[in-house]
Structure formats: C-alpha cells, structure tokens
Amino acid sequence: MTPVGLGWIAIARLGLVQAALGAVVVLTTSTLNRVMVVELAIAAVIPGLLVGLHYAIQIARPLWGHGSDVGGSRTGWILGGLALLAVSGTGAAATTFLFEIRFAYGLAAALVCYALIGVGIGACGTSLLALLASRTAPERRPAAATIVWMMMIAGIVITAIVTGSVLDPYSHTRLVLVTAATGATVFGIAALALWQLERTAVPLSQGAATAKADTPGLSMRSFRSSLAETWHDGEARVFSVFVFVSMLAYSTQDLILEPFGGLLFAMTPGETTKLSGVQHAGVFVGMALVGIAGSLLARRRPQILKIFIVSGCLGSAAALAALALGSAAAPAWPLKTNIFLLGAANGAFAVAAIGTMMALAGAGGPKREGIRMGVWGAAQAIAFGLGGVLGTVALDVARTVSGDTALSFTLVFGGEAILFLNAAVLALRIGRKRPRAGTHDTDMPLPLAAAE
C-alpha cells in the first residue's frame, strides 16, 4: 500500500521555503557582516557578536515548536517567522545609516534587529522541519532531507550572485532596497509554495493515533510538560547531545579553513574563497549520495541512515586528522582534495542526521514533532554559536602559547577530529532502545508511540 504523505512535488515546494529562508539569512550574516567591517570600519567582533546573538535567541526553538504543535497550523508559524525575518533583516540593513550617525544608536538598533532575526529563523525553520517530518513517508526521508537542504544551499548561492550584481555601486540605500526586495520576493515564493499544502497532505500519524491526538490532555498540554516529556525520552536526549557535539565539530572549522590556506599554503584571498567553494561542492556530493542511496535502501536496510551518520562522522574525523597532518607538511599537501573529502563527509552525515531527526520527531506520537524539532534545533543553534568562537579562540591561544602556527592548526584540527569521533560513538546509541508501547516513566505523563 502506498504510504500517505508528501509527494515529491510537495517536498520540493517545502524546499523552496527553505531556500527562501536561506536567501534572507545570507544577506544578514554574510553581506551585512562585510559592510560593517569594510565600509563602516567597525571592529570585526561586533558583527561576530551580533551573529552570535541570533544563534543565542534560537535557544527558544522548543517554545516555538510547541506553539506549532498545539496551534493547529504550522503554515502560519512558517510564514509568520519568514515575514519577521524579512522585516528584521531589512531593519538590520538600515542600521548602517545609524552607525554612521552614532555608533551607540546603530548598535542598539542592530541588537534588536538581530534578536528578531533569530526569532524569525527559529519560528520558521522549526515549524518547517516539523511539517516535513510529520508528512513524509519513512522511505522518502533521506531524499527529502537532501532535496530541502540542497535547495536551501542553492537559494543562498543564487541570492549571493544576484544581489552581488545589483549592490554595485554600493550605497547604504541600495543595500536596504536590495534586502527589502529580496525579503518580499522570497516571502511571495514561500506563500505560493505553501498554498493549501498542509491541508491536502494527511499526517502519517493519522488513523489509529487520531483519537489520541484529539484528546484534551494532548492538545492542551503545557509547554513545560511537553519539554519534560521530550527530555525524559532517552533516545531524544541522546540525539540532542549528538546534534550538539557533531554540529560543534562541524562549525568550529568554518572560520579557520580560509586562514589555514592563507597562512600555511600562501593562498591569495581569491584562492581561499575558491577553497570554500571546493568544500561546498563536496557537501553537495555527500548530500546527493545519501539522498539517492538512502532512498533506494531504506526499505531493505532500515538502519541505513544510522550507517551514513556514523560513517560520515568517521569520515569527517579522518579528513580533519589529515588536515592536522597537512599542517606539518604544508605547502606540499593535496589541500583541495582533502577539503573536498571533508565536505563530502560533512554533507553525508548532516543529511543523514536530518533524515533521522525527521523519523525521531514523529516517534513521540502526533503533535509532538514541533517540540522535538525545537529541542534539537536549539542544540544545533548553541553549537553553531559556540563553534565559530571556539575555533578562532583556540587557534589564537595555541599560536600565542606555542608561537608555532602549523602546530596550532594541528592541535585545533585534531581537537575537531576527536569531537567527530565522539559524535560517531553517540550515533551508535541512536535507535538501540525504544520504550515499549504503553509504558512510561513517572516523569513522562504521556506514552510514547512508535513513528512507524
């Protein structure tokens, strides 16, 4: 029997929404960051802290996920979050005028705008993943995760190319207009993509679970009890720790790869930018591999995503260990090949983890996907916020103490490899034990139901 759930066109429509989300985010975290540092001559730590603020705000993702669980419509949360993101992103661009008048005015306005950007990303992204998780058949989840994330990356790339071509000659006014036009355009695309999608795609958990979902105790449960229920689920808790550790390792490398190429391989700024492109090409390959192989093998090998997660984490650890060795051998090291393999391993584990996240989101029963996605999204946001800072701080401290740049990179990359090894060990624990139907702890007032 054909499973009820989202078809491929509907999944691609949700991918358009994710692409819209990425399109606005790239302007606020990349373009505006450069404008503050270069055109406004503001210390780089300021935009760094502002980006960190928008990650910190996303600690509240479980609250927004719970709201979409009990609110009756995830579409409203998705579009509301995207609208807030577009407006606050435009406001952040407009702070460039205030920074030129007085730094304190600009900083105060930017703090408000970046906090709202965090709210918009969290509300939109959490509800979008919850909708995808609750309406996608198990055998389609690997491909669905691949489609949605590759479309998001494509949205970022297209936005960077298009806006980059219209921002010159640069002016603050032009930046505000481009940001506003981008926000309005992608919101319109997202609204069309979501039109009646939630109403026409029946949740996979309907049927036997409908009566349970409609009980007053489930539909009106408090956020506190929902959060406690999720955290007391051992598998959800292990997965939360896995997400934090793996994403910390994933993000720690972001801000040090290009300096690595410049300091030890004498690469120009243009060459290190291309190096970043090589890494993203590897990510695409890794994502595509998991999407195709995962969908083909999902029925025969139910644990295929777990295999990809573990192998992706181990591959990432091996690639980072190779970079640690390459620090001593620079510049006689196949750096581009190493970076490509790192990207491929990163892409493989990331998409497999997202597919597993979709499965586990429904494992707690109907109308719990949002709170679970929120918990894992918060873990990811905290890890991303810490990762960039820890990577750069660790490198600076190591260089100061040792006075040896190559050794410093070796230590930092080696530390990241160890984090990925720990993530692989945690991934092995996912799916080992599930609560038996009808049993629950005293701290868990609601029974857990299997996703499939």
Q: Report DSSP letters for 218-241, one per residue.
A: HHT--HHHHHHHHHHSHHHHHHHH
Please check whether residues 192 and 237 belong to one and the same domain. Answer: no
Please give the pLDDT value at position 268.
Answer: 83
Please check whether residues 262 and 353 belong to one and the same domain. Answer: yes
Distance CA 351, CA 432 (A): 20
Please give the pLDDT value at position 305.
Answer: 86
Residue-wise pLDDT for 299-328, tens only, equals 777 678 899 999 999 999 999 999 999 998
Q: Is residue 208 domain-resident?
A: no
Distance CA 438, CA 444 (A): 12
Q: How far is CA 149 from the centre of its chain?
A: 9
Q: What percent of the chain has pLDDT over 90?
A: 40
Spatial contact of 93 and 61, defined as CB atoms under 8 Å apart: no
Please check whether residues 398 and 348 belong to one and the same domain. Answer: yes
Please check whether residues 117 and 251 belong to one and the same domain. Answer: no
Please check whether residues 191 and 289 belong to one and the same domain. Answer: no
Q: What pTM did the predictor assign?
A: 0.78
Q: Is residue 139 domain-resident?
A: yes
Distance CA 239, CA 356 (A): 9
- C-alpha torsion angle, residues 324, 328, 332, 336 (rounded to 10): 20
- C-alpha torsion angle, residues 359, 365, 371, 377 (rounded to 10): -10
Q: Is residue 6 domain-resident?
A: no
Distance CA 449, CA 452 (A): 9
Asked whether the predicted pLDDT for residue 120 surpasses 90, the reply is: yes
Label residue 441 by pLDDT band (50, 70, 90).
Answer: very low
Q: How far is CA 203 from the centre of its chain?
A: 24
Domain that holds residue 166: 14-198
Label residue 69 by pLDDT band (50, 70, 90).
Answer: confident
**Range with lowest mean pLDDT among 45-49, 243-247, 324-328:** 45-49
- Rg of the chain over all Cα atoms, to the nearest angstrom: 22
Report the largest interatomic distance among the alpha carbons of the chain, rounded to a whole angstrom: 66
Q: Is residue 85 domain-resident?
A: yes
Please check whether residues 281 and 419 belong to one and the same domain. Answer: yes
Q: Is residue 447 domain-resident?
A: no
Please check whether residues 177 and 244 belong to one and the same domain. Answer: no
Distance CA 34, CA 42 (A): 10
Please check whether residues 155 and 248 belong to one and the same domain. Answer: no
Residue-wise pLDDT for 142-172, tens only, equals 888 888 888 888 888 788 788 878 888 889 9
Q: Is residue 273 domain-resident?
A: yes
Label residue 253 by pLDDT band (50, 70, 90).
Answer: confident
| Total number of domains constituting the chain | 2
Q: How many CB atoms lie within 10 A of CB 161?
A: 9
Asked whether the predicted pLDDT for residue 274 surpasses 50, the reply is: yes
- Domain end call among 140, 164, 198: 198
Please give the pLDDT value at position 32.
Answer: 87
Give the domain CATH number at 357.
Answer: 1.20.1250.20
Please check whether residues 265 and 311 belong to one and the same domain. Answer: yes
Please check whether residues 258 and 400 belong to one and the same domain. Answer: yes
Q: How far is CA 419 from the centre of its chain?
A: 18
Report DSSP state, residue 139.
Answer: G
Please check whether residues 156 and 112 belong to one and the same domain. Answer: yes
Please check whether residues 275 and 421 belong to one and the same domain. Answer: yes
Structure tokens belonging to residue 106: 């600009």
